């Protein structure tokens, strides 16, 4: 799959507009319009300037002899999976079906983000209000508490003194933690650019979230390779094309290694064994599909399996967001009560004791 050499900067467009563009294109292609005809029609009835500019950019690239997949390169929110889906549709001669599947995928992603925003809205609001109130209390009330304790010649609890010492140090030397955070971010950015494979390997190794990353990429990969095989594209070419849709570099390299082993005559079940080693029954499904010459159907089964487990894990994240954020808010309030409110009550008791 070639890469467009015309541009080095991404064409910037909102994600929602990319979804609208995909929906309109798949609708016209499903009505048996050609790509150029579809784009001309879309350009004529679209009023949004960014979509019109996107369509014009794609049409200019098509006129230069590029494929639609290559014409979509360097456009914001059009990722490797999007380009691979389009490329697969062009190879198989069924671009309309691929664009429909692509739009459905984008819609699922949009709906999940919408659910995520709704699930986190209330706890985020509660935490933000609590944080602002806590900071205001620390900034305005804590100095009064310290002066009051000094006027009474009363010693504050050791834990409160430690927190006040830390706050005073942060107030006086705030540039040090800011510089430290900036340095850590710069080092992380450099490490990510220098060792992307290692970073992606660590992502896959993360507890729980690593599983979601693997399931997401594997569901898309299996869906792609199933469609390619059912379109009578060779297994070697299908692996090469489908691997391009993988976002995670570690997983993509594992598939590329498996593709190289396949070229040496190894069966696909052993070539892709590292990817399925934690799911032996999936490896068995792959092996039986190879023996029965039904790899396309079995890859489709694997895609459905990964999509179902991914949906379960994503729903679990949505369920856990609210209690985790509310628990964090409660912990913050508890620390303020222990370190500041209780000493205030102790001081008031001492005032009552000194002034019976």
Q: What is the pLDDT of residues 8-24, one digit of tens each?
A: 567 888 888 889 999 99
264 within domain boundaries:
yes
Q: Are 60 and 187 within one domain? A: no
Does residue 223 carry a pLDDT above 70?
yes
Q: Which residues pair with 11 in a beta bridge?
A: 75
183 within domain boundaries:
yes
Confidence of residue 234 (pLDDT cuts 50, 70, 90): confident
Q: Are 250 and 322 within one domain? A: yes
Domain boundary among the residues 45, 79, 106 is at: 106
Q: Are 101 and 168 within one domain? A: no
Residue 120: predicted pLDDT: 82
Q: What is the pLDDT of residues 163-180, one digit of tens each?
A: 888 888 888 888 999 999
Q: Are 70 and 178 within one domain? A: no
Percentage of the chain exceeding pLDDT 90: 16
Q: Are 251 and 122 within one domain? A: yes
**What mean pLDDT do residues 222-227 have?**
87
315 within domain boundaries:
yes
Q: Are 132 and 149 within one domain? A: yes
Residue 356: predicted pLDDT: 54
Residue 350: predicted pLDDT: 66
Does residue 228 carry a pLDDT above 80?
yes
Burial bucket for residue 226 (CB in 10 Å: 0-12, 13-18, 19+): buried
Q: Are 73 and 57 within one domain? A: yes
Residue 116: predicted pLDDT: 82
Q: How far from 350 is each of 141, 150, 198, 338, CA to CA, in Å?
A: 19, 13, 59, 18
Does residue 210 carry a pLDDT above 70?
yes
Residue with tokens 């009550």: 345
8 within domain boundaries:
no
CB 255 within 8 A of CB 272: yes
Does residue 186 carry a pLDDT above 80?
yes
Q: Which domain holds residue 101?
A: 15-106
57 within domain boundaries:
yes
How many domains does the structure of the chain reveal? 2
Domain boundary among the residues 106, 138, 168 is at: 106
**What mean pLDDT do residues 31-38 have?**
91
Does residue 187 carry a pLDDT above 90?
yes
354 within domain boundaries:
yes
Q: What is the pLDDT of residues 336-355, one digit of tens each?
A: 888 877 777 777 776 655 55
Residue 281: predicted pLDDT: 73
**Mean pLDDT of the residues in the chain:** 84
Q: Are 329 and 191 within one domain? A: yes
Instruction: Identify which of 135, 148, 114 has the alpha carbon closest to the alpha carbon of residue 314.
Output: 114
Q: What is the pLDDT of residues 84-129, one digit of tens each?
A: 889 988 888 889 988 998 898 889 888 888 888 888 888 888 888 8
Furthest CA-CA distance within the chain = 95
Confidence of residue 6 (pLDDT cuts 50, 70, 90): very low
Of the given ranges (4-8, 190-194, 251-255, 273-277), which has the lowest mean pLDDT?
4-8
CB 90 within 8 A of CB 290: no
38 within domain boundaries:
yes
Q: Are 120 and 85 within one domain? A: no
Domain boundary among the residues 106, 123, 141 is at: 106
Q: Are 49 and 92 within one domain? A: yes
Q: Are 136 and 101 within one domain? A: no
Residue 353: predicted pLDDT: 53
**What mean pLDDT do residues 257-279 have?**
80
Residue 29: predicted pLDDT: 92
The CATH number linked to 76 is 1.20.81.30
Residue 25: predicted pLDDT: 92
Residue 355: predicted pLDDT: 56
Q: Are 216 and 92 within one domain? A: no
Residue 5: predicted pLDDT: 42
More confident site: 309 or 76: 309
**What mean pLDDT do residues 314-334 have?**
86
Q: Cα–Cα distance between 15 and 75 in angstroms, integer?
A: 10
Residue 352: predicted pLDDT: 57
Q: Cα–Cα distance between 338 and 40 in angstroms, integer?
A: 67
């Amino acid at each position: 799959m070639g890469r467009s050499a015309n541009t080095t900067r991404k064409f910037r467009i909102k994600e929602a507009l990319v979804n609208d563009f995909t929906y309109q294109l798949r609708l016209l292609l499903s009505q048996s319009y050609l790509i150029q005809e579809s784009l001309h029609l879309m350009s004529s009835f679209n009023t949004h300037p960014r979509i019109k500019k996107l369509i014009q950019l794609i049409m200019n690239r098509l006129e230069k002899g590029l494929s639609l997949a290559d014409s979509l390169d360097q456009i914001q929110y059009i990722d490797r999976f999007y380009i691979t889906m389009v490329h697969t549709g062009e190879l198989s001669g069924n671009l309309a079906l691929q664009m429909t599947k692509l739009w459905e995928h984008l819609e699922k992603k949009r709906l999940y983000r919408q659910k995520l925003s709704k699930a986190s809205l209330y706890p985020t609001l509660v935490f933000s209000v609590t944080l602002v109130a806590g900071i205001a209390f620390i900034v305005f009330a804590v100095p009064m508490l310290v002066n009051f304790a000094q006027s009474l010649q009363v010693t504050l609890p050791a834990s409160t003194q430690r927190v006040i010492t830390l706050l005073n140090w942060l107030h006086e030397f705030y540039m040090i933690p800011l510089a430290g955070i900036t340095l850590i971010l710069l080092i992380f950015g450099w490490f990510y650019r220098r060792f992307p494979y290692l970073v992606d390997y660590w992502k896959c190794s993360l507890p729980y979230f690593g599983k979601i990353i693997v399931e997401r990429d594997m569901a898309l990969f299996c869906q792609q390779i199933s469609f390619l095989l059912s379109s009578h594209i060779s297994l070697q070419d299908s692996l090469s094309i489908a691997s391009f849709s993988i976002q995670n570099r570690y997983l993509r390299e594992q598939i590329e290694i498996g593709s190289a082993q396949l070229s040496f005559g190894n069966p696909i079940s052993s070539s892709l064994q590292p990817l399925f080693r934690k799911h032996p029954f999936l490896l068995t499904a792959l092996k039986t599909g190879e023996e029965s010459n039904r790899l396309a159907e079995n890859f489709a089964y694997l895609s459905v399996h990964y999509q179902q487990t991914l949906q379960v894990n994503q729903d679990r994240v949505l369920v856990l967001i609210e209690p985790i954020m509310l628990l964090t808010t409660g912990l913050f309030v508890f620390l303020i009560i222990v370190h500041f409110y209780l000493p205030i009550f102790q001081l008031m008791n001492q005032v009552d004791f000194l002034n019976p």
